[in-house]
Amino acid sequence: MDTTEPADALPAEVDLAVAWSPARVRAPLSTFLQLDHRLARIVTRTTEPMLGQMRLAWWRDVLRQPPAERPFGDVVLDGIGRHWQGREAGLIALVDGWEILIGAERLGADEAESFASGRAAPFVSLVGKATVSACDRTGQAAKLWALADAAAGISDVGERRVFLDAARNIGTPRGRLPAEMRGLAVLEALARRALRNDGAPLMAGRGASLAALRAAIFLS
């Protein structure tokens, strides 16, 4: 399998998160979220689980290769080579997280937790050598976003409720996010707002942009 796709147009909330992020994390964050978008597209378009798993396995395998051995010319793979060298484990966890949505016969609480942990892993990788509390806080916010965002796209009412309940069970924030996670603060604020609106899309409604702005300023 090969890939030469250009950069995708990302959801509005992702663009906001990248724009509000400090310059030092903007490029790796954008690359990770581009990959996340690619993986989400694989999952949502998969009608035959085995084929979807094969496509995800290709990403997992290529992320395990040395950068020099990966295909060239794809904006996401090239970005990973530039900005994620040595910390690809977080991106492999992301692939594993998305695969759960294809491989599980039914999405329950355990699947929701594993998905959220995998999708949160790259954010935790970006805080690097931060304290344990900073990593925990980052993981908490990232899991909340991962679940609330995914829930908005789940058509099965029961499974959607599982994801929303898992997000609500994360609870209130424990301290402030690290300064480099200003973009994640935006996503977390929008995710909490979506939960209050019973799982609406993150940018639904007139107050979404204001909620994002407040979160970014609070962490400035």
Q: What per-residue confidence (pLDDT) applies to 5? A: 59
Residue 4 lies in a domain: no
Residue 1 lies in a domain: no
Three-state secondary structure call for residue 53: helix
Which residue from 91, 100, 95 is spatially nearest to 124, judged by alpha carbons?
91
Residues 6+ apart with CB under 8 A from 192: 144, 148
Residue 39 lies in a domain: yes
Residue 5 lies in a domain: no
Answer whether residue 53 shows pLDDT above 70: yes
For residue 2, count CB atoms less than 10 angstroms from its CB and return exposed for 0-12, middle for 13-18, buried for 19 or more.
Answer: exposed
Rounded CA separation 20/17 (Å): 5
Domain total of the chain: 1
- Interval 122-151: pLDDT, tens: 999 999 776 788 899 999 999 999 999 999
Residue 99 lies in a domain: yes
Query: What mean pLDDT do residues 160-181 have?
Result: 91
Rounded CA separation 33/40 (Å): 10
- Portion of the chain with pLDDT greater than 90, in percent: 85
CB 21 within 8 A of CB 183: yes
* Terminal alpha carbon distance of the chain: 43
The total of other beta-carbon atoms located within 10 Å of residue 26's CB is 17
Domain that holds residue 70: 12-218
Rounded CA separation 84/88 (Å): 6
CB 94 within 8 A of CB 80: no
Q: What per-residue confidence (pLDDT) applies to 220? A: 64
Rounded CA separation 50/102 (Å): 9
Residue 213 lies in a domain: yes
Residue 3 lies in a domain: no
Rounded CA separation 113/118 (Å): 9
Query: What mean pLDDT do residues 158-184 have?
Result: 92
Rounded CA separation 171/165 (Å): 11
Q: What per-residue confidence (pLDDT) applies to 2? A: 46
How far, in Å, are 48, 53, 95 from residue 58 at the CA level? 16, 9, 10
Residue 7 lies in a domain: no
